[in-house]
Amino acid sequence: MSALGLVTRRFLERRLLGDGDDAASPVPAAATTLTVSTLIFLLLAQERSPFETYVLMSAACLVWSAVRTFFEARELDATAADRGVLEPLPIAAWTFAAARGLVLGAELLVGTLNVALPAIMITAVVVGPLAAGRAFLAATAASLTGLAVATFLRAVLLRFLGVRKLEEWEGPIRLVVAVGLFALLFAAPDLDAAARASGVMHVLPPLSFARFCADGGAWSASAAAVVAMIALIVAALALARARRTTDERRGGGGDGPLARFVRLGVADAERAGYEFTRANLARDRTFRARVFPLFAFPFAAIVLLAKDGAGFAPLLISVYGASMYLVVAQTFVLFSESQRGPRLVEALPILDADAFRTGAQKAFHAHVTVPVHLTVLVGLAALAAFGRGPGFVAGLQHVVLGTGFAVLFGSFFFERLEGLAFCTSDDGKFPASLQNRAFAALMLSAVAALIGMNVVGRPIPYALAVLVLGLMIRLRLRRRSR
């Protein structure tokens, strides 16, 4: 076998088996994006026209490939073992690049198939096999285009920001991509009108490929679209520069008024857990990269509210969405991006682990849960100001309900985390314990509620929400009584 073959096989084996514990294969950080994309597509595609269906599916594939390429590609960058074992060997530099390209291509192909398959099946049943074939072509083409665009953007940002800065911005950019997906999904009916109004939409492969597949017409790429793309890059760079300046002015730290208020309620014994978690929440790049996209859930509620007013769906998203993202986010709180840092904590005499955990929990809610939901409230207020959405009072109710549920639900899970926040070396594993089972149960209940909403009407999902809430409270009380 040639050097290229050997190196490619090594990279593939590493991706499939991981270099950590054999008991669990690594879970790609894009898994959440992928799951969300597919789930929402499945729910929405049924009621749309073929054109919109293509748009939705292609959007999911585009986001998948872009997120995958943009950030998880770095997992294919040289690891310490690559540097120690591969680099000293007589292998040309292009071999590594080619091997990484091959592995990434294979992963994208598999990922695209995963995203596209359920959509294609639905399309085949609803519209017909020919349309499904076109849909598959559109998905593949969108993925490949997404790959090209993301690779280009990554290279540009890497050139100007450097690896460290790019990694620091990984989470926020993923959030933008995830929010963009939601916006694209919910704006689909007005897509053509929106595209005419904005050159940016022309540059999005889903629109172009959807038009190509639905109408068989040529897809356009105007100079305005190119200018819009350049403007986006420039804006992103300017934003990064502004952010850097702000960080420098702040001296790398500082709390908002809310966090200062919460700190008053942190007991001395909890202070270590609170401060340690607060610092890591802000600086742990892996945590930011994984969790920021999940904030798209509560933001999706804004989009839904703008579109559907005060229907049931926004409530569902604001309650279940908040719960889902919190469960996942809190699971990731366990892990530290540093492989060796947790050993420092292990060696420390933490006499009161419960107080440490409580401090960490308060830090999480003060710096993640509440700020995110307050931002949603600001978005709702903005909608109300423009006469859209359910109005400020109804929006406030959503946010209060969502935040309350999130804090309650989050507290329940946080107390059951097996380990201290940011004290487990991140080897890409997702702990296969209570959190996973609970997450799976929650996802199922959310799907059941959505199906119930469509099939039976509103009482069932409301009842389910109350049931889950009651269960949480009961379990929480039981734990306290122990």
Which chain residues interact with another protein by CB under 8 A? 1, 3, 6-7, 10, 13-14, 17-22, 79-81, 83-85, 87-92
- Find the helix or strand (DSSP H, E) in which 286 lies: helix 285-291
Question: Least distance (Å) from another protein to the CB of residue 15?
Answer: 11
Using DSSP's 3-state secondary structure scheme, residue 425 falls into strand
Nearer to another protein, 79 or 198 (CB): 79
Task: Specify the amino acid at residue 123.
Answer: T
State which residue, 7 or 296, has the beta carbon closest to another protein.
7
* Residue with Cβ nearer another protein (91 or 259): 91
Q: How near is the Cβ of 161 to another protein at its closest, in Å?
A: 17
Give the residue among 470, 472, 468 at the shortest CA–CA distance from 412.
Answer: 472
Q: Which is nearer to another protein, 91 or 401 (CB)?
A: 91
Between 9 and 243, whose beta carbon lies closer to another protein?
A: 9
Nearest approach in angstroms of CB 360 to another protein is: 29
CB of 18 to another protein, least distance (A): 7
Which is it for the CA torsion 87, 89, 92, 94, positive or negative? negative
To the nearest whole angstrom, how small is the minimum distance from the Cβ of residue 241 to another protein? 21
Q: How far apart are CA 40 and CA 182, in angstroms?
A: 9
Cβ contacts of 330 within 8 Å, gap of 6 or more: 364, 410, 413, 414, 417, 435
Q: Which residues contact 318 (CB under 8 A, 6 or more apart)?
A: 298, 301, 376, 398, 399, 401, 402
> Nearest-5° angle of CA 23, CA 29, CA 35?
100
Kindly state the smallest distance separating residue 388's Cβ from another protein, in Å: 53
Q: Which is nearer to another protein, 22 or 268 (CB)?
A: 22
Taking alpha carbons only, the member of 118, 151, 110, 152 closest to residue 135 is 118
Instruction: Say how many Å lie between the first and final Cα of the chain, rounded.
Output: 61
Residue 339 has phi, psi (to 5 degrees) of -75, -30
Considering the complex, state which of residue 16 and residue 344 has its C-beta at the smaller distance from another protein: 16
| Amino acid at residue number 206 | P
In the complex, the smallest distance separating the C-beta of residue 427 from another protein, rounded to whole angstroms, is: 9
What is d(CA 173, CA 404) in angstroms, rounded to the nearest whole number?
28
Closest CA to 276 of 210, 361, 164, 188: 361
Q: Among residues 85 and 193, whose Cβ is nearest to another protein?
A: 85
Q: Closest approach of Cβ 350 to another protein, in Å? A: 24
b/e map of 217-236 (b: 16 or more CB within 10 Å)? Answer: eeeeeeeebeebbeeeeeeb
Q: Please name every residue paired with 425 in a beta bridge, in sequence order, or none if there are none.
A: 336
Whichever of 84 and 253 has its CB closer to another protein, that residue is: 84
- Nearest distance from residue 22's CB to another protein, in Å? 7
Which lies closer to another protein via its Cβ, residue 6 or residue 381?
Answer: 6
Q: What is the distance between the alpha carbons of residues 55 and 212, in angstroms, rounded to a whole number? A: 11
Q: How far is the CB of 137 from another protein (least distance, A)?
A: 37
